[in-house]
Homo-oligomer: A and B are copies of this chain.
Amino acid sequence: MLTDGVLRGVQEATLDVGERRRLERAIVEVREVAARTTTATAGVPLHQVMLLLDGLMCRFIDDRKGFRQLVAIHVPGDFVDLHAFPLRYLDHHVATMTKATVALIPHAQLHLITTASPALAQKLWFATLIDAAIHRAWLFRLGRLDAVGRVAHFLCETNVRLTAAGLSDGRRFALDLRQSDLADICSLTSIHVNRVLRQLRDERLCVFRSSWVELLDPEATARRGQFDARYLYVAGNETAGARSG
């Protein structure tokens, strides 16, 4: 099913068959979007939500000089702009990073579904709160980690999320991003990202090269980035990582 990825691996809010079917029926269109395309603009009311089926998307805020701060990236199975369902309009922009496939669900349909099923409504609420938890982890990353730690943290996070999505084997995964994308995510210059990646490689922690990531030493990389997977609320990560200590 198209909705197979939704809340996959999240034991507190797994969708049952009926809920999945109700969401599925609400999909009015499946669409391909080219890479590097803006799909939603801050302040503009939205009338549908996008469920990402394939590819990578991001949410970002522009500064005065046109530089973007990424505030989220999304992997297959994520609702990209579910926040706009209660909020009506967003405070940030949404764009594809790679070529992407998305399913569209009108807010009106979602309204019917959530009104009829408080349990499903709460699970969708849950999904947006995981986004919020990831925001907080990103705040920690920017606020408390140095450049090497930030990149390490991001790669660990992405590994866990892609593993839950069935797109990483727990160590190696495709990640079709540029060094300048990592820079926008970690708030570094792309030049410095380049040096950081070399350092991570030299220290045998992880390798990011030609759209491919390999965590050579997942534990050490997590330690370097003070990464603790519990904020992602995915099953099997209760004790992972190394936040405390």
Contact = CB atoms under 8 A, between A and B. Distances in A.
B243 A129 contact: no
B88 A12 contact: yes
A92 B243 CA distance: 11
B121 A71 contact: no
12 contacts: A12-B88, A61-B144, A64-B242, A69-B144, A71-B139, A87-B233, A91-B136, A114-B121, A128-B128, A135-B135, A139-B142, A142-B143
Interface residues of A, number: 50
Contact of A139 (B118, B122, B138): B138
Interface string A129-155: 101110111111011110000000000
Contacts of A118: 114-115, 118, 121
A122 B86 contact: yes
Nearest to A66: B244
Contacts of A62: 243-244
